[in-house]
Structure 1
Amino acid sequence: MTQSFDVDSFIRSRKQTRAVSDLLKAQAADYLATLSPLVRPQPLFGEYLQGAPRGSGRETQHHFKEFRTLFDKHAGARPFNLMNELEVPLNIINSTPELYPLEYEHTLDNGTRVRVTSPTRWVVGYSSFELSRFRQVVGDPNRSGSELHRFVVHYLMLFHCFSRAGGLGRLFKGLRFPVGFQCLDDFGDLPFCVISSPVSSTLPSDPVIRHSTEISGSRSFEELISDAEIEAMRDGLREQLSEALAAASAG
């Protein structure tokens, strides 16, 4: 998107973006809540998880071994630099998944750094482990090592459960809210689970962002959803059926 800064059209676009984003997030949250039993850690880890019933010995041992390898790979690396090891049984305080805003840094053409929020993508985390608080703890030189440890364990646990849930990715894709994994600013190579919506959002040109942040006095900005993006939405099932009809007719 490259356009000059027009206050009225910008305000209208912001309102439209917020309305569409709220609807999309509510839908994504509803799907996540419905499918959350598929990513509960208790059945996977059994007695390796505090308060969980005993599971299949070989299977739970396999999951714990994989998780310990995952923890060792990321916890001791930057920016966490954790030295403490995993304690068994694992203490997962809350395993209810929740959606948090996906944010990233954008550098304008004049060198100004802006914190950008996506209205169409969300990071999956556990309730009571807000992503914004995690970012604060990581950036605090006087941070609590135990609190940081809990955050790293919980986000790695969620990643493990999502990545091992066979068929879950296809389910979300079929619902038009695909699930993926990516690294985020401020968290090194730690993998996060991200849910995207069927509509994409984009940044306008740097001058538009600069004018907006100068007027608001804030170094934060939200991507915008255009009418064209909604009009260009594609229905994967409809396209597959159309291809099947065309192939059958040709045969």
Structure 2
Amino acid sequence: MRSYLYFTYAGYGFIIIAGLASMFSQMFVRSSYSKYSKISTISGKTGADVARQILNNKGINDVEVIQSRGGTLSDHYDPTKKVVALSPKVYADDSIASVSVAAHEVGHAIQHAESYGFIALRNKVLPLAIISSKFSFIPLFFGFMADNQQMFNIGILLLSIIAIFQLVTLPVEFDASNRAIKILRQEQILTSSELAGSKKMLTAAALTYVAALFGTIMSILRYVAIFNNRNRD
């Protein structure tokens, strides 16, 4: 009984740790975004201006920059439609945050145009990750309820696929940020002091992906700890 309680508490401990990591990473990125969204750049260029400038300079003429209807930090690059979709504030503002986010998303467009290796790998894992995120709970639930090792293993496998997708996503995101910083420096879109703020903000954003992977791993460890200990008892 004592052993069961220990592993049960340990299992919840994994979730608490993951939750705290996710919470702090989200707070960090929102705090950084809030800070640098209030500081205008010397150039006065908006996120949309910068995105179009970088695309033109890279000779990428088949990607459109549009204003999306999404909220804060909903900015993204859609390779199927070939659009860099920027949230209204990023699209129209000339802040360090807006310029940095826009350059980051264009970084993904450049990755796609140059056939960056991890993009192709992530796209291959994506369909499996989508299925896994929708159905992983089912075999885990029946594995626990019926004390069925095979069903439980299937659930853990599905969660592992999600973790693999998140792991492959990390180099994609970090590379896009590195590309953004390099371009913003080379094209003198931001000054050296502005670049320092840009780096901090993009680093904070990247940490949310690290926290997501960490959370998935903690979930796997929790389920395994509780299931194995129950069978042991």
TM-score by length of 2: 0.33
Say which structure is richer in helix: 2
Identify the structure with bigger relative contact order (alpha carbons < 8 Å, sequence gap 6+): 2
